[in-house]
């Protein structure tokens, strides 16, 4: 099949593909979904720490009345960047890390559908993240809150370049999300192992599919909103100019049409993670798999019909308020289904409280608290009272921290051996969990009270005598306990890595797990599967290890070592690395800086982007001399050298 127009003649000059060469070169040119997953995870953890430090600054400032640690202006920047960083630079890319690493493994594939686009997504995300944080040293960080309401985000009320960085930076990370979403959607639909029907996919992969579809449809909406903001600030457009009859609520609507699906984009990966962890450590299949899947899909659908509940206090009219109140109450139903299913999965199981399991149980309990306070917002009279108070801050931190961060930590402890070939210390892990749980509740629990007492969010300080002192102090102490727990995690990572050095890798199946990714050795070899498995059932891996005897009792029929592949296959064809995703991504922030400071800068940025796109298109599918290049393997026959354009 190689008799094509573009022969495998030696390409010239830059059109050869990088050969790796070990060390950092492997990482910057990689198109391997596992390496990209690790890059996503490492980068996102760095930004998680950055966002956490911003949170600590906020809590230091608010610990006592009349705080003087941050000025009002700096405070605005810090809380805005805390929100932006945690949502767009920590939580979303952490989900992308798990998705990238695990989806191909869980569906029995060797990589994603578009490996170079996958690398592009990561580098574009990193470019956007660095771009956003450059604002600190280039004239001030964004200061309009993470949802940047107009006209407060306009040039009059926010004259520094901060909101320009916000609008352009989020636009850049948005490109990364959209590209990655299309890529993973195609991967899941097109690249499942033989026999793996949609309803034999692990719940995590299912939830990630729903998330990718939400991203596909939600990212363009925020893109438009951000374009309107950029045009208003840079070119004097009148989208939010009330003097000319424009309606600033336009921003709020567009933002929340994106923003509410975004809430589910954030939480569903975590739901997926604990849906893998809980069955494994309860030693039972997930209860009501179909309900789990359909409730995830239902959440995805209904997430589009509730956006205006963020705007009850903005005067959208009684009819709209009533309609959105109703839809908001309904969306609690599929979420409730999930919680009941997790509980039913644990019910009667032989539960093993590993660190991963503890964090998963943490999600169920803490998210339920956040969900219940969320339902109180659905009642618009109560919401009118609570809007813009610390009650709302408490609510969404119970959902985001209690739901998402706990879930992601559960995933870390669960899949760490998969990725790195050694376990994290369970003992430190359990300490990590309990410290985090205590710190989390101390920080955000009191905020319910503060909010109901009337403390508004986003104020940079408060006077003594309102009764805010005690709970603010408790919350601030709690925030440092959370910081301690994150530190324990970092120590765990380091200590475990040092201990594992020189030791053999842990076995392929440390948890007696259920899904396909554990059929490869730990850490996963570059080519994933020696042989693509043929799937017969949900929890395929588990069913290969266990059968039933004559009396219907479950008995072990094979050891993990017998079932798992040994990773010894050679000559498996893999896509070659490429420079161009990185070069293209580096051009984007230059264009962004050019828009803000001097249009001249857009020229090198534009050249880099256009040039690398052409190089991308014209570079050969494989470097003929490359390490993966020749199709010397017998199973490899159908590779056609791709025609250009």
Partner 1 sequence: MNTSETAVTTEAAHDDHDHPSDAKYIQIALLLGIITAAEVATYFVDIGVALIPVLMIMMVVKFFYVASWFMHLRFDSPLFTKFFVAGLILATTVYLVFLTVFEFWSKG
Partner 2 sequence: MSEAATTEHPTNTGISHNKLAMWVFLGSECLLFGALISTYLLYRNEFHTGPAPGDIFDIPFTSVSSFVLLMSSLTMVLALSALKRGDIRNNRLWLLTTALLGALFIGGQVYEFTSFVREGLGFTTSPFSSAFFTLTGFHGIHVSLGIVMLMSLLISSLRGNLKEKNSETVEIVGLYWHFVDVVWIFIFTVIYLVPNPTS
Q: What are phi and psi of 114, to 5 degrees?
A: -130, 85
Q: Which of 73, 247, 566, 633 binds partner 1 (CB under 8 A)?
A: 247
Q: Which of 85, 153, 183, 275 binds partner 2 (CB under 8 A)?
A: 183
Q: Which of residues 575-604 bind partner 2 (CB under 8 A)?
A: 575
Q: Is 643 an interacting residue with respect to partner 1 (CB under 8 A)?
A: yes
Angle of the 33-62 helix axis to the 115-134 helix axis, nearest 10: 20
Smallest distance, partner 2 to C-beta of residue 575, A: 5
Q: Say if CB 418 and CB 518 are below 8 A apart.
A: yes
| Best CA proximity match to 293, nearest among 407, 203, 404, 363 | 203
Q: Is 191 an interacting residue with respect to partner 2 (CB under 8 A)?
A: yes
Smallest distance, partner 1 to C-beta of residue 580, A: 13
> Counting runs of H as helices and runs of E as strands, what totals does the chain give?
20, 2
| Best CA proximity match to 585, nearest among 133, 34, 125 | 125
- # of chain residues touching partner 1 (CB under 8 A): 23
Smallest distance, partner 1 to C-beta of residue 1, A: 7
Binding mask 319-358 for partner 1 (x = CB under 8 A): -x--------------------------------------
Q: Is 155 an interacting residue with respect to partner 2 (CB under 8 A)?
A: no
| Residues 467, 451: Cα–Cα separation, whole Å | 11
- HEC assignment per residue over 371-427: HHHHHHHHCHHHHHHHCCEHHHHHHHHHHHHHHHHHHHHHHHHHHHHHHHCCCCCHH
Q: Is 304 an interacting residue with respect to partner 1 (CB under 8 A)?
A: yes
Q: Which of residues 598-617 bind partner 1 (CB under 8 A)?
A: 617
Q: Is 239 an interacting residue with respect to partner 2 (CB under 8 A)?
A: yes
**Stretch of 234-242, 247-255, 265-273, 558-566 contacting partner 1, by CB under 8 A:** 247-255
Q: Which of residues 47-76 bind partner 1 (CB under 8 A)?
A: none
**Stretch of 245-253, 365-373, 414-422, 483-491 contacting partner 2, by CB under 8 A:** 245-253
Backbone angle region of 315, left / alpha / beta, with phi > 0 → left and psi within -120 to 50 → alpha: left
**Stretch of 74-82, 316-324, 335-343, 442-450 contacting partner 1, by CB under 8 A:** 316-324
CB nearer partner 2, residue 221 or residue 265: 221
Q: Is 638 an interacting residue with respect to partner 1 (CB under 8 A)?
A: yes
Q: Is the bond leading into 430 cis (omega within 30 degrees of zero)? A: no
Angle of the 318-346 helix axis to the 355-378 helix axis, nearest 10: 160
Q: Is 102 an interacting residue with respect to partner 2 (CB under 8 A)?
A: no
3-state helix, strand, coil in the chain (%, to 5): 65, 0, 35
Q: Which of 49, 56, 138, 223 binds partner 2 (CB under 8 A)?
A: 223
Residues in CB range of 244: below 8 A, 6 or more apart: 238
Beta bridge partners of 547: 555
Q: Is 297 an interacting residue with respect to partner 2 (CB under 8 A)?
A: no
Q: Is 621 an interacting residue with respect to partner 1 (CB under 8 A)?
A: yes
| Residues 562, 281: Cα–Cα separation, whole Å | 22
Smallest distance, partner 1 to C-beta of residue 579, A: 17
Q: Which of 60, 69, 138, 249 binds partner 1 (CB under 8 A)?
A: 249
Q: Is 223 an interacting residue with respect to partner 1 (CB under 8 A)?
A: no
**Stretch of 90-98, 405-413, 485-493, 573-581 contacting partner 2, by CB under 8 A:** 573-581
308 binds, among partner 2, partner 1, none (CB under 5 to 8 A by kind): partner 1
| Best CA proximity match to 48, nearest among 88, 99, 76 | 88
| Residues 310, 628: Cα–Cα separation, whole Å | 51
Q: Is 537 an interacting residue with respect to partner 2 (CB under 8 A)?
A: no
Q: Say if CB 408 and CB 48 are below 8 A apart.
A: no
Q: Is 5 an interacting residue with respect to partner 1 (CB under 8 A)?
A: no
316 binds, among partner 1, partner 2, none (CB under 5 to 8 A by kind): partner 1
Backbone angle region of 390, left / alpha / beta, with phi > 0 → left and psi within -120 to 50 → alpha: alpha
| Best CA proximity match to 277, nearest among 38, 518, 43, 554 | 518
Smallest distance, partner 2 to C-beta of residue 635, A: 6
Q: Is 137 an interacting residue with respect to partner 1 (CB under 8 A)?
A: no
Question: CA separation (Å) from 104 to 37, 107, 108, 181, 527?
Answer: 11, 5, 6, 14, 11
Binding mask 187-206 for partner 1 (x = CB under 8 A): --xx----------------
Three-point CA angle 355, 358, 360, nearest 5°: 110
State which H helix or E strand residue 556 sits in: strand 554-556
CB nearer partner 2, residue 250 or residue 379: 250
Q: Is 1 an interacting residue with respect to partner 1 (CB under 8 A)?
A: yes
Q: Is 224 an interacting residue with respect to partner 1 (CB under 8 A)?
A: no
239 binds, among partner 1, partner 2, none (CB under 5 to 8 A by kind): partner 2
304 binds, among partner 1, partner 2, none (CB under 5 to 8 A by kind): partner 1
183 binds, among partner 1, partner 2, none (CB under 5 to 8 A by kind): partner 2
Q: How far apart are the first and last CA of the chain?
A: 19
Q: What is the DSSP pairing of strand 554-556 with strand 546-548?
A: antiparallel
Q: Is 8 an interacting residue with respect to partner 1 (CB under 8 A)?
A: no
Q: Is the bond leading into 167 cis (omega within 30 degrees of zero)? A: no
| Residues 503, 565: Cα–Cα separation, whole Å | 21
**Stretch of 189-197, 356-364, 461-469, 488-496 contacting partner 2, by CB under 8 A:** 189-197
Give the distance from CA 433 to its chain's centroid. 21
Q: Is 456 helix (H, G, I), strand (E, B) or coil?
A: strand
| Residues 253, 246: Cα–Cα separation, whole Å | 14
Q: Is 637 an interacting residue with respect to partner 2 (CB under 8 A)?
A: yes
Q: Which residue has the tokens 């019909």?
A: 305
Beta bridge partners of 456: 389
**Stretch of 124-132, 144-152, 312-320, 602-610 contacting partner 1, by CB under 8 A:** 312-320
Q: By CB under 8 A, name the binding residues for partner 1.
A: 1, 189-190, 217, 247, 249, 253, 257, 304-305, 308, 316-317, 320, 617, 621, 638-640, 642-645
- Binding footprint of partner 2 on the chain (CB under 8 A): 4-6, 104, 109-117, 178, 182-183, 185-186, 189-192, 194, 196, 216-221, 223-225, 227-228, 231-232, 235-239, 241, 244-247, 250, 254, 257, 532, 573-575, 617, 621, 635-640, 642-645
């Amino acid at each position: 099949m190689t008799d094509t127009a573009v022969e495998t003649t030696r390409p010239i000059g830059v059109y050869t593909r990088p050969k790796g060469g070990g060390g950092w070169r492997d990482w910057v040119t990689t198109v391997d979904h596992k390496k990209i997953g690790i890059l996503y995870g490492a980068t996102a953890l760095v930004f998680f720490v950055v966002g956490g430090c911003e949170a600590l600054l906020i809590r230091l400032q608010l610990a006592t009345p009349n705080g003087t640690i941050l000025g009002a202006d700096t405070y605005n920047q810090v809380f805005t960047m805390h929100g932006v960083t945690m949502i767009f630079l920590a939580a979303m890319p952490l989900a992308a890390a798990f998705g990238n690493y695990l989806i191909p493994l869980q569906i029995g594939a060797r990589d994603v559908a578009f490996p170079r686009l996958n690398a592009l997504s990561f580098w574009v995300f990193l470019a956007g993240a660095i771009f956003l944080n450059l604002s600190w040293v280039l004239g001030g960080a964004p200061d309009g809150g993470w949802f940047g309401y107009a006209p407060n985000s306009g040039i009059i009320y926010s004259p520094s370049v901060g909101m320009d960085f916000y609008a352009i930076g989020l636009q850049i990370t948005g490109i990364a999300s959209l590209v990655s979403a299309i890529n993973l959607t195609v991967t899941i639909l097109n690249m499942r192992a033989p026999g793996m029907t949609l309803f034999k996919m692990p719940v995590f992969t299912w939830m990630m599919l729903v998330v990718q579809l939400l991203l596909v449809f939600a990212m363009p909406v925020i893109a438009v909103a951000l374009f309107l903001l950029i045009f208003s600030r840079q070119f004097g457009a009148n989208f939010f100019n009330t003097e000319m009859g424009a309606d600033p609520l336009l921003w709020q609507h567009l933002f929340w049409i994106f923003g509410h699906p975004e809430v589910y984009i954030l939480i569903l990966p975590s739901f997926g993670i604990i849906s893998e962890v809980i069955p494994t450590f309860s030693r039972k299949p997930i209860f009501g798999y179909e309900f789990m899947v359909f409730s995830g899909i239902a959440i995805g659908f209904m997430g589009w019909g509730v956006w205006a509940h963020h705007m009850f206090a903005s005067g959208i009219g009684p009819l709209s308020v009533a309609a959105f109140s109703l839809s908001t109450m309904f969306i609690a139903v599929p979420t409730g289904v999930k919680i009941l299913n997790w509980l039913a999965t644990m019910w009667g199981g032989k539960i093993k409280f590993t660190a991963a399991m503890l964090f998963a149980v943490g999600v169920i309990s803490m998210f339920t608290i956040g969900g219940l306070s969320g339902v109180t917002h659905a009642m618009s009279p109560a919401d009118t009272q609570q809007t813009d108070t610390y009650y709302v801050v408490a609510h969404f931190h119970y959902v985001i921290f209690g739901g998402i961060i706990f879930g992601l930590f559960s995933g870390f402890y669960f899949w760490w051996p998969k990725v790195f070939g050694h376990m994290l210390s369970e003992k430190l892990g359990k300490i990590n969990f309990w410290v985090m749980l205590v710190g989390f509740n101390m920080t955000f629990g009191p905020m319910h009270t503060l909010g109901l007492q009337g403390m508004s969010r986003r104020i940079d300080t408060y006077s003594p005598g309102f009764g805010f002192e005690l709970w603010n102090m408790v919350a601030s102490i709690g925030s440092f306990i959370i910081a301690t727990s994150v530190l324990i995690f970092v120590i765990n990572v380091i200590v475990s890595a040092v201990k594992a050095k020189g030791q053999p890798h842990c076995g392929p199946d440390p948890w007696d797990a259920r899904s396909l990714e554990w059929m490869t050795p730990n850490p996963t070899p570059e080519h994933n599967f020696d042989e693509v498995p043929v799937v017969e059932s949900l929890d395929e891996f588990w069913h290969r290890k266990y059968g039933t005897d004559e009396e219907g009792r479950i008995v072990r029929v094979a050891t993990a070592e017998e079932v798992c592949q040994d990773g010894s296959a050679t000559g498996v064809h893999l896509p070659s690395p490429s420079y161009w995703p990185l070069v293209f991504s580096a051009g984007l922030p230059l264009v962004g800086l050019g828009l803000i400071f001097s249009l001249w800068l857009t020229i090198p940025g534009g050249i880099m982007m256009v040039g690398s796109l052409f190089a991308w298109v014209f570079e050969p599918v494989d470097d003929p001399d490359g390490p993966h290049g020749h199709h010397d393997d017998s199973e490899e026959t159908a590779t056609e050298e791709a025609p250009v354009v």
